[in-house]
Amino acid sequence: MIIHLARAEARLPQVEAMMQAVPLACHVVSAVDGQQMSEAHADAYRRKLMRPTYPFTMRPSEIAAFHSHRACWQRILDDDLEAALVLEDDLHLQEDVFPRALNLALANIQPGDFIRFPIKLREERTKEIATSDEIGLHVHDRIALGMVAQLVTRDAARALLAASERFDRPVDNFLQMQWVHNVRVATVWPSGVREISAELGGSMIGRKEGLLQKLRREILRPLYRHRIRALARRHSHASK
């Protein structure tokens, strides 16, 4: 499933290239447009819903991005798929790495798993699931941000949908909260995935801020990360 915003016509050639690069049947999933959200979509966002409190107000584009991923999870259930590869439309898939990373994930995925294909490795590995040549599949004590490419099982989709009927933070921040959704999240690295949004006209979730807003984010972001890290560590120890 390739998430694509209809008005981002400049990305259509990239969508076609991705469909050719992925060794699976591909479908384009229409992204929810932050400029034209329904009342129901907007109402799903509730500030300060969970702990630790997310310190920033979500932008319409972030709310829409969350709903776009929820649409993919719902389609997995509606089509009764065992799993689906969910991709954003600003990726380059390295033909010498990505197919092998995908094969490793497919060979070792378990019901209920959510396997990330990040553009950078920001976690410290804690448990090895499998390796093949230089590619490894691991579970980590915390989950890094980013939702560009992931393999989502049916049970994971069901759990994530149930836990996110209302949400208060971006979808990748929500994924970090395993104590909320109880989905096993693993990471494959190297993933063979590279983000090329800058080459396609920039991110569709850009943020323009003044100096005071930037300063506020620089102060609050590390405090929030520390709280998330502490809860993730506590959850990791409790689940062992």
Supply φ then ψ for residue 197, to 5 degrees. Answer: -60, -35
Q: 126 falls in which pLDDT band (50, 70, 90)?
A: confident
pLDDT at res. 203: 60
Give the separation between CA 121 and CA 52, rounded to whole angstroms.
Answer: 24
Q: What is the pLDDT of residues 127-184, one digit of tens each?
A: 999 999 999 999 998 899 999 999 999 999 999 999 999 999 999 999 999 999 999 9
19: left (phi over 0), alpha (psi -120 to 50) or beta: alpha
Q: What is the pLDDT of residues 213-234, one digit of tens each?
A: 788 888 899 999 999 999 988 8
Give the separation between CA 125 and CA 144, rounded to whole angstroms.
Answer: 12
This model's pTM is above 0.95: no
Q: Does the pLDDT of residue 48 top 70, yes or no? A: yes
pLDDT at res. 17: 92
Give the separation between CA 209 and CA 12, rounded to whole angstroms.
Answer: 29
Q: What's the chain's average pLDDT?
A: 92
CATH number of 2-238: 2.60.40, 3.90.550, 3.40.50, 2.40.128?
Answer: 3.90.550
Q: Are 67 and 44 in contact (CB under 8 A)?
A: yes
pLDDT at res. 171: 98
Q: Where are the domains of the chain?
A: 2-238
Q: What is the pLDDT of residues 192-211, one digit of tens each?
A: 999 887 666 656 555 566 77
